[in-house]
Amino acid sequence: MTTTPEINSAHGGTLVHRIATPEARENFLEAGASMPRVVLDERAVSDLVMIAIGGFSPLDGFMGRADYDTVVTDMRMANGLPWAIPVTLSVDAAIAEPLKEGTLIRLDDAQGEFVGVLELTEKYRYDKAKEAINVYRTDEEKHPGVKVVYEQGAVNLAGPVWLLERDPHPLFPSYQIDPAVSRVMFAERGWKTVVGFQTRNPIHRAHEYIQKCALEIVDGLFLHPLVGATKQDDIPADVRMRCYEIMMEHYFPQNRVILAINPSAMRYAGPREAIFHALVRKNYGCTHFIVGRDHAGVGDYYGTYDAQHIFEEFGPDELGITPLKFEHAFYCTRTHTMATTKTSPSQPEERVHLSGTKVREMLRRGELPPPEFSRPEVAAELARAMRVAQEV
């Protein structure tokens, strides 16, 4: 197999690969019955996968205390490399107490399946309130990210990990494009500049507008919706992916767009998560990253453009990926086009923009979002999914 040059180096310089070889996997399976066992929740399994495939490069495992402390306080790893979100494996003290540093720990998913191995190098207690305030800018438990921190165990287990096997995604196997593969795909298409787009919501006209604006200045668009754990009231991943498939079929130039899934879990950390999402897309090979209104936000915890301002806290070359900052897009009834305040002469009453909450309320009432907000085929798919959900 010929090697294809990478268009953007991974964060830290090397793309991490922590998927066990067939031989190592067999050895782990044989030894698994005698290993101490830790059960991972859905987010921890996602983190294990993202570490193993290189999506969280340069991490090769769950963070030790030195990296954890500096990431929480300074958005940097202990060696100074920018990193905005702690990636940790937290367990109850009673589970951590008998585990010995220097040993192998079996990692099971919630169904009891043996999915990975942790080379335990360290275990340490941490300050949950400090993590909440620094990472999420609040200690309110009603914030979904803070709630996770408060409910998780009091001790972090650290060390390199191995994923036993990279299984096809149960819902989206054809869209499972890991960083090593996406880099080859970009290079094979001759793309030297690629913009990544993150969302946990169904695509609407404002998304489409900023994606196509970005596509005017780069070679390719990497549509990378998140399909890991999200809030219970978020639109399910399968519905969101069908909406993207519709857009790919009818509204995007397919030779300039790649649709792939991001198996990571949402943190809802607003500005910090914008940095995190950008670095993940850098690992997939992207050179640019779209940052829109209230990126990765929830409720009223973050200012409208805080997720854009946070990029200014790093030097111009530190992150290694260029943020493309967009204002809130809307449909302008005066010019009959999508626009922002930078391009539209309209007054507020001439602008059509609906929040995800308002759209969900319309769908529950059996109303379709207006064509100014959503492409009709996408609106119909959302309405169909809502009807099915209400019938269950």
- Options 18, 137, 183, 200, the catalytic residue: 200
Indicate if 178 and 323 belong to the same structural domain.
Answer: yes
Answer yes or no: is 14 within a domain.
no
Range with lowest mean pLDDT among 65-79, 92-106, 294-308: 294-308
Residues 6+ apart with CB under 8 A from 156: 62, 63, 65, 68, 88, 89, 90, 123, 124, 125, 126
Q: Give the Cβ contact number of residue 186 at 10 Å.
A: 25
pLDDT above 90 as % of the chain: 82
**Residue with structure tokens 């790093």?**
314
Answer yes or no: is 357 within a domain.
no
Contact between 335 and 345 (Cβ < 8 Å): yes
- At 7 the pLDDT is 65
196's tokens = 């990544």
Question: Is 189 an active-site residue?
Answer: no
Domain endpoint, select from 279, 302, 327: 327
Q: Which helix (H) or strand (E) holds 187?
A: helix 179-188
Indicate if 159 and 177 belong to the same structural domain.
Answer: no
Answer yes or no: is 333 within a domain.
no
Answer yes or no: is 245 within a domain.
yes
- As a whole number of angstroms, the distance between CA 15 and CA 260 comes to 18
Answer yes or no: is 332 within a domain.
no
**CATH code of 209's domain:** 3.40.50.620
Indicate if 151 and 213 belong to the same structural domain.
Answer: no
Domain endpoint, select from 114, 133, 163: 163
Q: Give the Cβ contact number of residue 93 at 10 Å.
A: 11
> Full-prediction pTM beyond 0.85?
yes
Indicate if 153 and 219 belong to the same structural domain.
Answer: no
Answer yes or no: is 338 within a domain.
no
Indicate if 219 and 253 belong to the same structural domain.
Answer: yes
- Options 65, 189, 201, 256, the catalytic residue: 201
Q: Give the Cβ contact number of residue 365 at 10 Å.
A: 8
pLDDT in tens, 351-390: 998 766 677 778 778 888 889 889 999 999 988 888 887 7
**Secondary structure (DSSP) of 166-185:** -PPPSS-GGG---HHHHHHH
Contact between 10 and 283 (Cβ < 8 Å): yes
**CATH code of 52's domain:** 3.10.400.10
Contact between 115 and 48 (Cβ < 8 Å): yes
Answer yes or no: is 84 within a domain.
yes
- Of 7, 55, 320, nearest to 194 by C-alpha is 7
Contact between 370 and 355 (Cβ < 8 Å): no
Q: Give the Cβ contact number of residue 69 at 10 Å.
A: 17
The one-letter amino acid at 50: M
**Residue with structure tokens 């019955």?**
33
pLDDT in tens, 228-264: 888 777 788 999 999 999 999 999 999 999 999 999 9
Arithmetic mean of pLDDT, 24-32: 97
> Strand 337-339 relative to strand 322-325: parallel, antiparallel, unpaired?
unpaired
Indicate if 72 and 42 belong to the same structural domain.
Answer: yes
Indicate if 48 and 151 belong to the same structural domain.
Answer: yes
Answer yes or no: is 364 within a domain.
no
Contact between 310 and 272 (Cβ < 8 Å): yes
Q: Which helix (H) or strand (E) holds 117?
A: strand 114-119
pLDDT in tens, 29-78: 999 999 999 999 999 999 999 999 999 999 999 999 999 999 999 999 99
Total domains in the chain come to 2
**Residue with structure tokens 């991972």?**
40
Arithmetic mean of pLDDT, 105-122: 98
Name the residue range of residue 272's domain: 173-327
Indicate if 188 and 311 belong to the same structural domain.
Answer: yes
pLDDT in tens, 160-194: 999 999 999 999 999 999 999 999 999 999 999 99
> Strand 89-91 relative to strand 104-108: parallel, antiparallel, unpaired?
unpaired
Indicate if 80 and 181 belong to the same structural domain.
Answer: no
Q: Which helix (H) or strand (E) holds 23?
A: helix 22-32
Confidence of residue 8 (pLDDT cuts 50, 70, 90): confident
Question: Is 201 an active-site residue?
Answer: yes
Domain endpoint, select from 133, 163, 193: 163
